[in-house]
Structure 1
Amino acid sequence: MEELHPGSVHVVYASDCSVVGHADNEFGITIGWDIPMLKGYPYSILNCEKGAPLSNWGSLTGEGVKAVINKINPSAVLLTGLNYKFDLVAYLTARKSGIPVWLRCETQDYALKRSKLKEIYRLLVYSIAYRALNKIFYIGKLNKMHYIRHQISPVRLKPAYYGTKDLFIDMTAAQKNLIRARARLFAGIDLTAVVIGFSGKFIPKKNPEILFDMLAFLPTELKKRIHLYFMGSGALQPTLESKAAEAYRKYGIKTHFTGFVNQSKLVPHYLTMDVLVLPSRRMGETWGLVANEAMQAGCSVVVSDAVGCSSDFSSWERFRVFPEGDAAALAEKVTDLAKYHREFDWAKQELENYSIDATAAALLRELTITEN
C-alpha cells in the first residue's frame, strides 16, 4: 500500500521478536527472519511483551496501543488477528474513538476437530466479536464461509486473498534452470530425478512421515526416479532420518535434509523440487502458505484436505488434494503429477489474485472509499 499510495499506512507491531529472533519450539531453534521486514513504510514497535512473546493470549499486552492510535488518528484500524490481548485492546480503543475497525486473518471452521460444546461457544464468541467490525477481508473460500456462518453480511465482506512475496518474479527461465541445476548438484540429486519435497516444521501437525509411508504405493518405475527432499527442522527429525535410511535400504530411494532455511535462501530449494507435498493433519493448518511459494517456483503441489488453501486451488492444473492421512491416495496424486514436465510459470496467471500487490490494491481501494 505504501508503494501504491505513500502515507497510506502505518504499521503498529506489538513485538519485534520475528526480527530480532525468538525461540521457536516447533522448529526447535531460535528464529529471526533475515529479510528486511521493516523497510519501505512507517511503523511503530510497542514491545508490549509479557513473558515469552506469542506464547499465549496475554503475552502481547497492548500497552501503548491507545497512545499510538491517538497520535496517528487513522482513518481505519486493520487487525490481522484476534489472538492476543494486544488485538482486543486495539479493537476496543478504535471503537471507543469512533475509528472504523477492519479485520483480515486466517480463521476458518475446518482446520481443527472440535467438540460440539466448543463449537457452540466458538460460534457465540466470534458472532459477538465480529458484530462491531466495519469491514472484513477474506483470504480465501473457507475464510469467507466462516464469516458467513457467523452472520456477517456480504456487504461487509471484501476479497483480499492470501499471498506471499514472489521471490521468482524477476528471474528468467534460464536463471531458474541454472540455479536448479546447481542446487541439485550440491544436494547430490540427478538432474532427471523427480524430486518430491516437503517444506515446514517437522511436527505431528504437518505429518511429514507420510512421504515415506506413500513409497510402498508408488509404481516401481517412479520409485526408481524419485528423490525425497525435506526443508525444515523440528522434533520429528530423528524419526524422519530413520525412515530415510529404511527407504534407501528397501527401495534405493535417497533423501536430502536441508535443515532450517531462512526466507532469503528459499529460492534454490523450491527450484530443486518438482512436487511439493503439504500433508497436514486437521490440527490447525488454516491456509498453508508454502503451497503459494511452491507454485510461484513452478512446482506441482499436493495437499491434504485438512489444509485451508485446498478449497481455493483444488481445480488448478497441477494442484491435487488427498484425504488426510491416506498414504495410498497421496501416492496416486504424486504419480499423476510426476507425469508433467517441469514448467516454472504454469500457475503465474492464477496466482495474480493471490499476490501482495493484489491484497494491497484491495485494501487501498476500501481505504479510499472510507476517506471519501
Structure 2
Amino acid sequence: MTNLAIIASHPIQYYAPLFRCLAEDCNFNIKVFYLWDFGITNQIDPGFKQSLKWDIPLLDGYDFEFVPNISKNRGTHHIFGLQNPNLTQQVLTFQPDAILLTVSYNYASMYSFIWQMRNINIPMIFRGDSHRIQAKNNFKSQIKKLFIAKIFENFDACLYVGKANYEYFKYHSVLESKLFFAPHAIDNKRFSAMTNEISSQAKNWKQELGIPTKNMVILFAGKFEDKKRPLDLIQAFINAQLKSVSLLLVGAGNLDSEMRDLSKHHKQIYFAPFQNQSLMPRTYASSDVFVLPSYGSDETWGLAINEAMCMGCPVIVSSHVGCAADLVKHRKNGLIFEAGNVEDLTASLKEALADHYRLKRWGEESKIIVRDYCYDRIISGLKEALAAICKK
C-alpha cells in the first residue's frame, strides 16, 4: 500500500469525490493537505462577487488536514495567497511514499515546499492543466519557459489532463517518459444519474423563470467575468435572431449589470442567480445546448463542459477552451468557434439550433465521449506514474 500525500489548495467540488475513490482503493493510504478553507466556510468568491459555500460534502470519506495559512489575503488569486510555513513538516509527519501536487507551483507555499524537498528522497508527482493555446513567443516568454522547465525538473512524473496540457509539458522540456494521462473529470455518476424527477424539476424551473415551454434553451452557467465572455454570447444571440429559442444566463459576477443592460430590450434573454452544486444537474437539464465562449489562456479546461456532457448536452466552445481538443468533436457532439469572434459564434448558434433532432443526437454523443473522462482513468494514470517511478 502506498502512503500518498496529496497537496491541494482548498476543498474543491471536482476533487473531493476523486479523493474518496482513492481512499476506497486498497492500493492507497491517502491524506490530503489543504492550504486554505474556502468552499467549506462562507467566504467571498472573487469571481462570483458573493459569499459562497458549496452545498455538497467536500470532506467526507478520506483523511485530510488543514495547514495553517498565515497570508493576510488568503486565496488562489495571487502568489502570496497561500503561505503555509508548516506544510513540509506536516507532510513529512505523514511519512509518505510519494507526494502528489494538485495545486499550481506558482504560490509562495509551493515554491518553499519544492525548495525544501529538493534533498529529500520522496518522489513527487505534479498534476496541472495549463496550456499554450494563446501563447506569445518573445524574449519574456523564453525566460519564463526556462524558469518553468527548471520547476518541472523537481518532479519525478507529471500527470496531464488532455492534449493541450500534454503539449504544455512537452514545451517545458518534460520528458515523454515522465508524462501520464490523468484526464480532468467530474463526478460522472452524480451528474449522469438523470431521472424523471430532475427532468420534471427542470421543466418547473423554466416555467418559474418565464421561459416559454415550446422554446429551446441556450445555456451559459458560470462567473459573469471577462474571461468567460458572456457579453459575446449575448451579442451573438441577439444577432442570430433565432425563433422559439431562449438564452438563459446563470451565475453572478462583475459583468452582471453590463449583461443586463445589453439584454434589456430582448425578451428571450433570461437571468438566474448562482446555482449551487446540488442544483447544477437541474440547470443543465433545463437546456438544449451549453455554451462556453471563453477568451484567453485562463480557461485551462472548462469542467462545466464535462458536467453538461454528462447531462446529455451538446456543447459550443471557443477555440481557447482547454478541453476543446479532447471533448468537443466538431459537428458530432458540438461546435468549436474562433475565440472572441462574435460573428463566428453567431453562425455556430444558428447552425446548432437549426436542427432539433440533430442537436439531440449530438447530446447523446456527448454522454458517450465523456464516459472515458472519469475518476477511474485518473487513478489508472496515477498508478502508471507510481509504477514508473518505483522502477527507477
**Normalising by structure 2, what TM-score?**
0.86
Aligned to 1:19, the other structure's residue is in SS state coil
Cα distance change of structure 1 residues 148 and 6 upon mapping to structure 2, 3 Å threshold? closer
Secondary structure of the 1:257 match is strand
Say whether 1:4 aligns with 2:25: yes
Distance 1:30 1:322, change over 3 A: same
Match of 2:163 in 1: 141
CA separation of 1:217 and 1:141: change in aligned 2, threshold 3 A? same
Are the counterparts in 2 of residues 16 and 47 from structure 1 also a CA contact under 8 Å? no
Tell me if structure 1 keeps the 8 A contact 2:33–2:91: no
The CA distance in 2 between the partners of 1:118 and 1:288, in whole Å, is 27
Aligned length: 362
Matched, 1:162 2:177: no
1:130 partnered with 2:152: yes
Which residue does 2:247 correspond to in 1? 228
Deviation at 1:293, TM superposition (A): 1.1
1:251 maps to which residue? none
Query: Once the 2 structures are TM-superposed, how far is the Cα of residue 331 of structure 1 from its aligned partner?
Result: 1.9
Cα shift at 1:233: 0.4
Q: Any gaps of 5 or more consecutive residues in structure 1?
A: 249-253
Please list the CA deviations of residues 107-149 of structure 1 after superposition, one character each: whole Å capped at 9, or x if unmatched.
11225x5461321121011111111210100011110001111
Return the offset for 1:88: 2.2
- Counterpart residue type for residue 236 of structure 1: L
Paired with 2:252 and 2:197, the residues of 1 have a C-alpha distance of 28
Separation in 2, partners of 1:350, 1:66: 40
Judge conservation of contact 2:314–2:366 (CA < 8 Å) in 1.
no
Q: CA deviation at 1:96?
A: 2.5
**2:333 equivalent in structure 1:** 318
SS at match of 2:336: strand
CA distance in 2, matches of 1:69, 1:155: 27
Moved more, 340-349 or 80-89: 340-349
RMSD of aligned Cα (Å):
2.1
Q: Tell me the alpha carbon deviations over residues 181-200 of structure 1, each in whole angstroms, 9 at most, x when there is no partner.
A: 22222222233311111111
Structure 2 letter corresponding to 1:62: N
- Please report how far the alpha carbon of residue 348 of structure 1 lies from its aligned counterpart in structure 2 after TM superposition: 2.3
2:322 to 301, 305, 308: 308
Q: For residue 164 of structure 1, give the secondary structure of its aligned residue in structure 2.
A: coil
Distance in 1 (CA, whole Å) between partners of 2:308 and 2:151 is 35
User: Are 1:202 and 1:235, in contact at CA under 8 Å, matched by a contact in 2?
Assistant: yes
Distance in 2 between residues matched to 1:168 and 1:98, nearest whole Å: 40
Correspondence 1:27 to 2:48 = yes
Tell me the residue number matched to 1:40: 61
C-alpha change, 1:238 and 1:170, in structure 2 (3 Å) is same
SS at match of 2:40: helix
Q: How does 1:253-264 map to 2 (within 5 A)?
A: 254-264=268-278
Where 2:366 maps in the other structure, the secondary structure is coil
Counterpart-to-counterpart distance in 1, 2:217 and 2:163? 30
Name the structure 1 match of 2:15.
none
Structure 2 unmatched ranges of 5 or more? 1-21
Deviation at 1:283, TM superposition (A): 4.7
TM-score (norm 1): 0.91
Q: Where do residues 68-147 of structure 1 align in structure 2 (5 Å cutoff)?
A: 68-80=90-102, 81-111=104-134, 114=136, 116-147=138-169
* Aligned residues with identical type, % of pairs: 25
Q: Deviations over 1:253-292 (max 9, x none)?
A: x222111122122121111011111111115111111111
Say whether the 8 Å CA contact 1:78–1:103 is kept in structure 2: yes
Residues 237 and 247 of structure 2 are in contact (CA less than 8 Å); yes or no, is this contact kept in structure 1?
Answer: no
Distance 1:281 1:353 in 2: 26
Please point out which of 150, 164, 175 is paired with 1:153.
175
| From 219, 223, 226, the counterpart of 1:201 | 223
Deviates more, 1:23-32 or 1:141-150: 23-32
Comparing 327-336 with 195-204, which one deviates more in the overlay? 327-336
Instruction: Give the deviation of 1:39 after TM superposition.
Output: 0.8
Given that 1:27 and 1:201 are in contact with CA atoms closer than 8 Å, whether structure 2 keeps it comes out as yes
2:167 counterpart letter in structure 1: M
Equivalent residues of 2:132, 2:297 under 8 A apart: no
What's the secondary structure of 1:49's corresponding residue? Answer: coil
Question: Is 2:210 aligned against 1:188?
Answer: yes
Distance in 2 (CA, whole Å) between partners of 1:205 and 1:241 is: 18
Which residue among 273, 281, 288 is the counterpart of 2:295? 281
Residues in 1 aligned to 2:208 and 2:28: alpha-carbon distance in whole angstroms: 45
1:271 is aligned to 285
Residue 354 in structure 1 maps to residue 369 in structure 2: no
Displacement of 1:323: 0.7
CA shift in 2, pair 1:314/1:7, >3 Å: closer
- Alpha-carbon separation, structure 1, partners of 2:26 and 2:207: 44
Q: Which amino acid aligns with 1:109?
A: R
- Distance in 1 between the 2:24 and 2:266 partners? 49
Following superposition, the deviation at residue 7 of structure 1 comes to 4.6
Counterpart Cα distance in 2 of 1:18 and 1:52 = 16
Where 2:291 maps in the other structure, the secondary structure is strand
Contact 1:300-1:319 within 8 A present in 2 as well = yes
Query: What letter matches 1:27 in structure 2?
Result: F
CA distance in 2, matches of 1:177, 1:293: 16
Residue from 232, 238, 241 that aligns with 2:257: 238
Specify the SS of the correspondent of 1:346. Answer: helix
Distance in 2 (CA, whole Å) between partners of 1:345 and 1:272 is 16
Match of 2:346 among 318, 331, 342: 331
